[in-house]
Structure 1
Amino acid sequence: MFTFAGSGATNTSKLTEKQRKQLSGLLGNVELTLLYKASVHGYNASAFHQRCDRQGPTLLVAYNNSGYIFGGYTSVEYAQSGQHIRDEEAFLFSFQGNNPVCINVRSGCNARLDNTGGPNFGQKLYFCYNNQPIVYDQSGQIHDNAFTFSPATLYGNNTQLTECEVYKVEQRSSLSKPQVSIKEKPWRNVLWTAERRDELMKMIRNHKPLITSVSRVRILMIGPVGAGKSSFFNSINSIFMSRMTSKAMSGSAGTSLTTQFRTYPVKDGREGKPLPFVLCDTMGLEEQSGAGLDIEDISSILQGHVPDRYKFNPTAPFQPDEQKASKPASLQEKIHCVVYVIDATKISLMSDKLEEKLAAIRRKVNSLGIAQIVLMTKVDEACSLVEEDLQSLYVSSYIKTKVQEVSSRLGVSVSCVLPVKNYSQELELELNCDVLLLTALQQMLNFSDDYLDDVDPV
């Protein structure tokens, strides 16, 4: 149960423990502390600001007399600045049945207006409007489309509130230092040693695909925008170059930085020979139609029809040359392993549309018998324990639950979900990162062998 931050009030949150955990799960490894309860402090804006200003990220939860529980999150604190706030992490949510469903802010739009009034989202949805227990929705009256939602779905078209609560959202890393028992048994075994890193590098260098007509296995990276596909290539390239590299464009833009189909061979050092694999990078998946990578493009890539540097067109799928399309691509040109790249901090925020896209891709990949793996990135951002010490990865119960969630959502075995940390802001290579990344790459080569072992080379 919740009590108010900084007070002896006995009033507690209306959220059940299950709902609290579900909302916490949307935001990663966080703690929720109740700051403001309208039925206690009043529905007026001054009471809201008195308790919620300068408190950091906050989560608003509203309840209406139709039984709807809905609200929104902002990572930018309230300050009555009078400014329009850009907040790429902001979202609205509504419990649909037993689960909260998210509506993310559209990239480049103002998430809210930080004024002296009550809390608002996208200047569309005002809570405790005019100091009354109501929601004011003007989504049909303005052109700002920061949040696209149906009033019937979000709050059942019922604007009368029975309660409005605001919670302070704190990452657990900024709270008490996590403790792990030395005796705690890891749920996967990893040797975090320089010898193991060297052994993995040797195994990868010496890998020979099972079929002689295939000189290098082709590994296709698929995933949402910003999940870390290009960063994974840069990280693997950095390890074998023994220095930080950034050959593939990577970053945190709202839309995909990769606009071409790229095939990236990796050399064993600056003057070294090419290693026995090629990492194929694609445009990021986006939930709306007409944006991001098209499923038909993926089908063409899997079957080896798409050339390196082909520029994607989200509104028109790839059309192979008629002469080439009439004959199948060689086994060397086809994809031998598909890797889904998923951001560990955004698994719970994955929309139904994106999940449906991934399911459609999986069905296509399954029909071709291609091996599949999930790379779960940004594990350090998802769990403070892992951020402090990467070797804690496989004793983290939080990361274990995220691995299980990915397994369930994507329909793959838990053993096929590989947590990693890509290089992003580091200037030097780090042993623990190397071991995780190389272990994942070795598994991709093993899975490619499984595929090649099962195909007819003729």
Structure 2
Amino acid sequence: MRTFSYSLQFRRFGEFLMARVTSNLTEEQTKQLCDLLGNVKLSLLYKASVHGYKASVFHQQCDNEGPTLLVAYNRSGYIFGGYTSVDYARSGRQITDKEAFLFSFQGKIPVYIKVNSGHYARLDDAGMPNFGEQLYFCYNSDAVVYNDGGKSYSFDAKRLYGNNTNLTECEVYKVKQNFRTKEKPWRNILWTSIRRDELLEMIRNHKPVVTSVSRVRILMIGPVGAGKSSFFNSINSIFTGHVTNKAISGCAGTSLTTQFRTYSVKDGREGKPLPFVLCDTMGLEEQSGAGLDIEDISSILQGHVPDRYKFNPSAPFQPDEQKTSKPASLQEKIHCVVYVIDASKISLMSEKVEEKLASIRREINSLGIAQMVLMTKVDEACPRVEEDLYQIYLSSYIKSKVQEVSSRLGVPVSCVLPVKNYSQELELELNCDVLLLTALQQMLRLADDYLDDVDVI
């Protein structure tokens, strides 16, 4: 009877101890790490200050738990660690894991370091966690991190953890897929910080397929208030690192853009110009003699309209005769046209605006220029998406809108990309960035298709 009493007391003590095992991560840090990993939840398995630094206890808590995230804290205030998608099992084997990475918080956003190609992610031994037999956590059952050099991960110890090897805490989390819905997305997209960084790098390093063109020129056309200027502001915000409002945008009944503007984007405030130019026009309006004149489109496409030319809806642009006698260079012409359409107003688009778009499309088709649709304001069109932008490719309503705009404008469904511009936000958001950068990447690809096919002689 006494043995049973001791057993019950021990079990209750264990339950009490586990109840006190709480994460040192803030809610914002947890969110950032989940963003890095995708649609996941973190569940705390092991906390060194509670369970102890012995390897046997670590393995008792963490073995055969699937993907895990290790988070370490040192005396200099650094928060860093690593992720592995392969179980801890004390197999004694070298583990290959292409998904493994190290991370360190640099401000609000964690910076990640992938495992180098062709190298092992870690050794699955009976000791404390290691990454690539290079970075050891709780080394020799002590509250320290040990860097043994190695080639599996390329990192700067000072940047990763401030060269301070003394740990104040070490935690290991089970990484569980967060199945919000059983629905299958109708378009696959990775909602991770890693994907955002990959898109940023691809765009930064993009080189047009024709050597005479240094920067792709993208023309945005659409009804008043659809979000052309806001798209430029959003892209500029992502590369600047905070929300900006360089181009005039708003929700007035008539076009706020009265000039032809060519916007280049810098890679950071002091960075070099990126390999694309976004060209903004007046909005299309129903009435004749209002908004962008269709005849102006041809001059813009051919590269004759200068930056800051002020549109005159009652009279189309008249190019200089000397300039028109000599065709503009391929560098000055438009390489991709983007129709910017408000998702919440597709069904309300008037016949006259639709006719104008059809006329413009015929002109662009005759020149063989690549075209796509940017479907904006998806959050205003669908309450489900307004609540969670992640739901955009699970929403059958948004899918139906993509199909509708594809049918009405004669653009393939694959060339209709839904996005949310930055409008009322004060800070950048991961899901917005991924959608916007995916759309921009598609524009660059379509422009390359055009340049690859154009006669440059």
TM-score per shorter chain, which class? 0.5 to 0.7
Structure 2 equivalent of residue 188 of structure 1: 187
Structure 1 equivalent of residue 444 of structure 2: 445
Give per-residue Cα distances to partners, 1:263-290, cap 9 Å, x unaligned. Answer: 0000000110000000000000001100
Structure 1 equivalent of residue 230 of structure 2: 231
Structure 1 equivalent of residue 163 of structure 2: none
Structure 2 equivalent of residue 263 of structure 1: 262
Structure 2 equivalent of residue 323 of structure 1: 322
Match of 2:452, SS state, is: helix
Give per-residue Cα distances to partners, 1:76-117, cap 9 Å, x unaligned. Answer: xxxxxxxxxxxxxxxxxxxxxxxxxxxxxxxxxxxxxxxxxx
Give per-residue Cα distances to partners, 1:7-48, cap 9 Å, x unaligned. Answer: xxxxxxxxxxxxxxxxxxxxxxxxxxxxxxxxxxxxxxxxxx
| Amino acid in the other structure paired with 2:375 | M
Match of 2:232, SS state, is: helix
Structure 1 equivalent of residue 31 of structure 2: none
Give per-residue Cα distances to partners, 1:415-435, cap 9 Å, x unaligned. Answer: 110000000000000000000
Structure 2 equivalent of residue 213 of structure 1: 212
Structure 2 equivalent of residue 198 of structure 1: 197
Structure 1 equivalent of residue 159 of structure 2: none
Write the distance in 1 (CA, Å) between the matches of 2:296 and 2:227. Answer: 20
| Amino acid in the other structure paired with 2:355 | E
Write the distance in 2 (CA, Å) between the matches of 1:181 and 1:235. Answer: 28
**1:285 aligned onto 2:281:** no
Write the distance in 2 (CA, Å) between the matches of 1:227 and 1:405. Answer: 16
| Amino acid in the other structure paired with 1:265 | S
Give per-residue Cα distances to partners, 1:309-335, cap 9 Å, x unaligned. Answer: 000000000000000011110000000
Show the 5 A alignment for 1:28-427.
Answer: 182-427=181-426
Write the distance in 1 (CA, Å) between the matches of 2:453 and 2:413. Answer: 22
Give per-residue Cα distances to partners, 1:180-205, cap 9 Å, x unaligned. Answer: 97210000001000000000000000
| Amino acid in the other structure paired with 1:422 | N
Structure 1 or 2, whichever has the larger Rg, is 2
Write the distance in 1 (CA, Å) between the matches of 2:454 and 2:396. Answer: 38
Give per-residue Cα distances to partners, 1:40-64, cap 9 Å, x unaligned. Answer: xxxxxxxxxxxxxxxxxxxxxxxxx
Write the distance in 1 (CA, Å) between the matches of 2:346 and 2:374. Answer: 12
Match of 1:270, SS state, is: coil
Match of 1:256, SS state, is: coil
Write the distance in 2 (CA, Å) between the matches of 1:348 and 1:448. Answer: 29
Q: By how many angstroms is 1:245 displaced?
A: 0.7
Q: Give the TM-score normalised by structure 1.
A: 0.61
Q: By how many angstroms is 1:457 displaced?
A: 1.1
**1:435 aligned onto 2:446:** no
| Amino acid in the other structure paired with 1:250 | S
Write the distance in 2 (CA, Å) between the matches of 1:234 and 1:378. Answer: 14
Match of 1:381, SS state, is: helix
| Amino acid in the other structure paired with 2:182 | K
Write the distance in 1 (CA, Å) between the matches of 2:181 and 2:309. Answer: 51
Write the distance in 2 (CA, Å) between the matches of 1:306 and 1:182. Answer: 50
Write the distance in 2 (CA, Å) between the matches of 1:268 and 1:206. Answer: 11
Match of 2:424, SS state, is: coil
Write the distance in 2 (CA, Å) between the matches of 1:395 and 1:245. Answer: 30
| Amino acid in the other structure paired with 1:206 | N
**How large is the Cα RMSD of the aligned pairs?**
0.8
Structure 2 equivalent of residue 39 of structure 1: none
Write the distance in 2 (CA, Å) between the matches of 1:233 and 1:383. Answer: 23
Write the distance in 2 (CA, Å) between the matches of 1:181 and 1:276. Answer: 38
Write the distance in 1 (CA, Å) between the matches of 2:363 and 2:403. Answer: 23
Structure 1: state its 5+ residue gaps: 1-179
Structure 2: state its 5+ residue gaps: 1-178
| Amino acid in the other structure paired with 2:228 | K
Q: Give the TM-score normalised by structure 2.
A: 0.61
| Amino acid in the other structure paired with 1:455 | V
Write the distance in 2 (CA, Å) between the matches of 1:283 and 1:289. Answer: 14
Write the distance in 1 (CA, Å) between the matches of 2:394 and 2:277. Answer: 32
Write the distance in 2 (CA, Å) between the matches of 1:414 and 1:243. Answer: 32
| Amino acid in the other structure paired with 1:220 | L
Q: By how many angstroms is 1:214 displaced?
A: 0.3
Write the distance in 2 (CA, Å) between the matches of 1:425 and 1:256. Answer: 20
Write the distance in 1 (CA, Å) between the matches of 2:443 and 2:196. Answer: 16
| Amino acid in the other structure paired with 2:446 | F
Structure 1 equivalent of residue 98 of structure 2: none
| Amino acid in the other structure paired with 2:203 | I
Match of 1:358, SS state, is: helix
Write the distance in 1 (CA, Å) between the matches of 2:352 and 2:269. Answer: 43
Write the distance in 2 (CA, Å) between the matches of 1:319 and 1:454. Answer: 29
Write the distance in 2 (CA, Å) between the matches of 1:270 and 1:355. Answer: 39
Structure 2 equivalent of residue 454 of structure 1: 453
Match of 1:375, SS state, is: strand
Give per-residue Cα distances to partners, 1:234-272, cap 9 Å, x unaligned. Answer: 000000000111110000000000000000000000110
Write the distance in 2 (CA, Å) between the matches of 1:339 and 1:204. Answer: 17
Write the distance in 2 (CA, Å) between the matches of 1:333 and 1:394. Answer: 36
Write the distance in 1 (CA, Å) between the matches of 2:243 and 2:391. Answer: 24
Write the distance in 2 (CA, Å) between the matches of 1:300 and 1:326. Answer: 13
| Amino acid in the other structure paired with 2:348 | L
Write the distance in 1 (CA, Å) between the matches of 2:384 and 2:419. Answer: 14
Match of 1:373, SS state, is: strand
Write the distance in 1 (CA, Å) between the matches of 2:181 and 2:424. Answer: 30
